[in-house]
């Protein structure tokens, strides 16, 4: 009698972190490769995992997803839906015809498919709503039942773009960025819908319960140990690496655009553009969140991958120190000048020296001195993988000890007194305009830059800061003269 084959079959496969999108002139390559062990009961699924479609028996593009078969299914369904906009219809159709993975297609999702739609907040470029979508997104084709298998999260976020009722390239470019970049550590876009009341188009993405990085730190009921923080920073760096491997730059990288649900995910790719495209700085200024912007960008120079690295350094210090950068002073031209002259947020003494040094390298005034994204990720990955150096272990233990004590003290404080921001400290992207800023330099003594701040201002959350369409702050003639005279030799 023949031995009955085992129900579970074990095999290894490699999942490449890159795809090619034929409709978009970009091949995304990455050196990241995952080694995974998977158990599959169904023979057809095993074939798919090896790249063989369970239906057509032809080489597929991955487990549970045959690009050729699914393209036919999508195409047959084109007649059953329309957004009412030819540009959007063709955009979605092309994504479906060329999707090589369930994260690489879009759907037109009728607004009535959503339930319990609730306004959440307004950002620099649009509004955010939460909603339920019971049907959920397509995950794979169920061969046995001959239908799409759909998966639904508890909540989704509907993100509108101001004035998108007249569909614009900015809206489609943001969605295109989601299709071009590997999405392991980046927010996925499931499709497009339209608000029937104001006719504005909306991106449909997952809703992240822990909010952004600042919300995650503020709301955490448990102390976040160093090893977890380092792992999360590693994941953020890996997401940024995927963006840069796609030869793109984020251009609006700050803590508000890092969303958490246990793990961190990079969001808001609206400003994300090809890294090799020359930037045309508009006469009216540049967009961003001042404390996170590299000094060369403040001066109107081309945005590069190195500018994203600078922003990562600010984010990294904020995450480890749990201090909001420049929260007690106005975000105005005076701050922009000081940043160009070398001012940076304070680095907590309890941060391990290896990471403190990495932070300083990230926000170096000289672009060439900043690490590459690969070097940044490798440093964090090496530290996460193994800490053999006894001195580093000691520093990590001290960090945890000091931070845990601060966490306990914070938990006992009145929440309204825990975090205060100056009324003119604004953490949403806005239009900034500066003229004749000094040439960026590093400061040998950051403590020499002291700001006087009004201690009688009203405490308010960064999420409720007013959104300004442009920066219109006037310094006194005496202040400006003193600043420019002091740095005259550094101005190009």
Tell whether the model's pLDDT for residue 120 goes beyond 50: yes
Is 186 inside any structural domain?
Answer: yes
- Give yes or no: residues 151 and 241 share one domain: no
First vs last C-alpha separation in the chain: 87
- Give yes or no: residues 125 and 235 share one domain: no
pLDDT at 411: 65
| Mean of pLDDT over the chain | 78
Is 476 inside any structural domain?
Answer: no
Q: What mean pLDDT do residues 394-412 have?
A: 88
- Give yes or no: residues 378 and 300 share one domain: yes
Residue 89 in contact with residue 108, Cβ under 8 Å? yes
Domain carrying residue 317: 211-276+283-410+425-448
pLDDT at 429: 87
pLDDT at 486: 52
| pLDDT per position as a tens digit, 90-116 | 999 999 999 988 888 999 999 999 999
Flag the least confident range among 113-117, 123-127, 343-347. 123-127
CATH number reported for the structural domain that contains residue 288 in this entry: 1.10.510.10
Is 76 inside any structural domain?
Answer: no
Share of the chain above pLDDT 70, in %: 70
Is 362 inside any structural domain?
Answer: yes
Flag the least confident range among 30-44, 64-78, 341-355, 397-411. 30-44
Is 95 inside any structural domain?
Answer: no
Q: What mean pLDDT do residues 326-333 have?
A: 93
Q: Sorting pLDDT into bands at 50, 70 and 90, what band is 272?
A: low
Higher pLDDT, 332 or 161: 332
Q: Sorting pLDDT into bands at 50, 70 and 90, what band is 14?
A: very low
Tell whether the model's pLDDT for residue 468 goes beyond 60: no
- Give yes or no: residues 222 and 202 share one domain: no
Q: What mean pLDDT do residues 234-240 have?
A: 96
- Give yes or no: residues 337 and 245 share one domain: yes
Q: Which of 173, 206, 239 is the last residue of a domain?
A: 206
Q: Sorting pLDDT into bands at 50, 70 and 90, what band is 358?
A: very high
CATH number reported for the structural domain that contains residue 175 in this entry: 3.30.200.20
pLDDT at 52: 75
d(CA 130, CA 119): 7
User: Which range is most confident: 131-140, 176-185, 420-429, 465-474?
Assistant: 131-140
Q: Which of 179, 206, 233 is the last residue of a domain?
A: 206
- Give yes or no: residues 164 and 244 share one domain: no
pLDDT at 165: 61
Is 185 inside any structural domain?
Answer: yes
| pLDDT per position as a tens digit, 420-438 | 788 898 898 888 988 889 9
- Give yes or no: residues 292 and 404 share one domain: yes
Quote the number of domains for the chain. 2
pLDDT at 58: 75
- Give yes or no: residues 114 and 252 share one domain: no
With both helix axes pointing from N to C terminus, report the angle between 373-385 and 226-245 in degrees, rounded to the nearest 10. Answer: 150
Share of the chain above pLDDT 90, in %: 48
Is 399 inside any structural domain?
Answer: yes
Is 106 inside any structural domain?
Answer: yes
- Give yes or no: residues 261 and 381 share one domain: yes
- Give yes or no: residues 245 and 340 share one domain: yes
pLDDT at 228: 95
Tell whether the model's pLDDT for residue 25 goes beyond 80: no
pTM of the model: 0.79
3-state SS, the chain, equals CCCCCCCCEEEEEEEECCCEECCCCEECCCCCEEEEEEEECCHHHHHHHCCECCCCCCECCCCCCCHHHHHHHHHHCHHHCCCCCHHHHHHHHHHHHCCCCHHHCCEECCHHHCEEEEEEEECCCCEEEEEECCCCEEEEEECCCCEEEEECCCCEEEEECCCCCCCCHHHHHHHHHHHHCCCCCECCEEEEEECCCCCCEEEEEECCCCCEHHHHHHHCCCCCCHHHHHHHHHHHHHHHHHHHHCCEECCCCCHHHEEEECEEEECCCCCCEECCCCCCCCCCCEEECHHHCCHHHHCCCCCCHHHHHHHHHHHHHHHHHCCCCCCCCCCCHHHHHHHHCCCCCCCCCCCCHHHHHHHHHHCCCCHHHCCCHHHHHHHHHHHHHCCCCHHHHHHHHHHHHHHHHHHHHHHHCCHHHHCCCCCCCCCCCEEECCCCCCCCCCCCCHHHCCCCCCCCCCCCCHHHCCCCCECCCCCCHHHHHHHHHHCHHHCC
Q: Which of 145, 177, 206 is the last residue of a domain?
A: 206
Q: What mean pLDDT do residues 312-331 have?
A: 95
């Amino acid at each position: 009698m023949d031995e009955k084959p085992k129900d579970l079959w074990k095999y290894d496969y490699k999942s490449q972190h890159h795809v090619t999108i034929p409709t978009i002139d970009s091949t995304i390559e990455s050196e990241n490769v995952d080694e995974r062990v998977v158990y599959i009961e169904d023979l057809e699924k095993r074939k798919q995992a090896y790249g063989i479609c369970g239906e057509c028996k032809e080489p597929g593009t991955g487990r549970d997803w045959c690009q050729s078969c699914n393209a036919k299914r999508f195409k047959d369904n084109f007649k059953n839906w329309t957004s009412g906009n030819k540009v959007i219809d063709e955009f979605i159709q092309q994504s479906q015809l060329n999707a090589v993975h369930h994260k690489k297609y879009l759907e037109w999702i009728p607004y009535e498919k959503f339930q319990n739609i609730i306004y959440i907040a307004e950002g620099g470029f649009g509004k955010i709503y939460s909603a339920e979508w019971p049907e959920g997104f397509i995950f794979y084709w169920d061969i046995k039942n001959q239908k799409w298998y759909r998966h639904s999260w508890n909540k989704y976020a509907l993100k509108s773009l101001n004035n998108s009722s007249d569909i614009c390239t900015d809206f489609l470019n943001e969605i295109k960025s989601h299709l071009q970049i590997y999405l392991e550590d980046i927010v996925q876009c499931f499709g497009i819908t339209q608000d029937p009341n104001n006719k504005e188009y909306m991106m449909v993405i997952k809703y992240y319960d822990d909010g952004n990085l600042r919300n995650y730190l503020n709301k955490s009921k448990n102390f976040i140990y160093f090893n977890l923080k380092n792992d999360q920073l590693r994941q953020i760096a890996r997401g940024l690496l995927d963006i840069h491997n796609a030869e793109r730059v984020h251009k609006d990288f700050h803590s508000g655009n890092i969303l958490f649900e246990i793990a961190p995910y990079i969001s808001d790719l609206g400003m994300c553009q090809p890294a090799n495209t020359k930037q045309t700085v508009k006469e009216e200024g540049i967009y961003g969140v001042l404390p996170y912007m590299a000094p060369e960008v403040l001066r109107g120079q081309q945005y590069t991958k190195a500018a994203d690295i600078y922003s990562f350094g600010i984010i990294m210090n904020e995450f480890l120190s749990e201090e909001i950068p420049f929260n007690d002073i106005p975000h105005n031209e005076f701050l922009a000048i000081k940043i160009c002259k070398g001012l940076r947020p304070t680095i907590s003494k309890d941060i391990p020296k290896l990471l403190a040094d990495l932070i300083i390298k990230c926000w170096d005034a000289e672009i060439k001195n900043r690490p590459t994204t690969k070097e940044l990720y490798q440093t964090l990955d090496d530290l996460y993988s193994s800490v053999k150096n006894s001195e580093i272990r000691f520093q990590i233990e001290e960090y945890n000890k000091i931070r845990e004590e601060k966490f306990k003290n914070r938990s006992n404080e009145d929440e309204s007194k825990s975090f205060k921001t100056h009324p003119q400290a604004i953490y949403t992207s806005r239009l900034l305009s500066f003229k004749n800023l000094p040439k960026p330099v590093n400061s040998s003594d950051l403590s020499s830059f002291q700001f006087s701040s009004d201690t009688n201002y009203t405490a308010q959350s960064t999420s409720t800061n007013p959104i300004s369409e442009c920066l219109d702050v006037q310094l006194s003639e005496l202040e400006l003269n003193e600043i420019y005279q002091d740095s005259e030799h550094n101005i190009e």
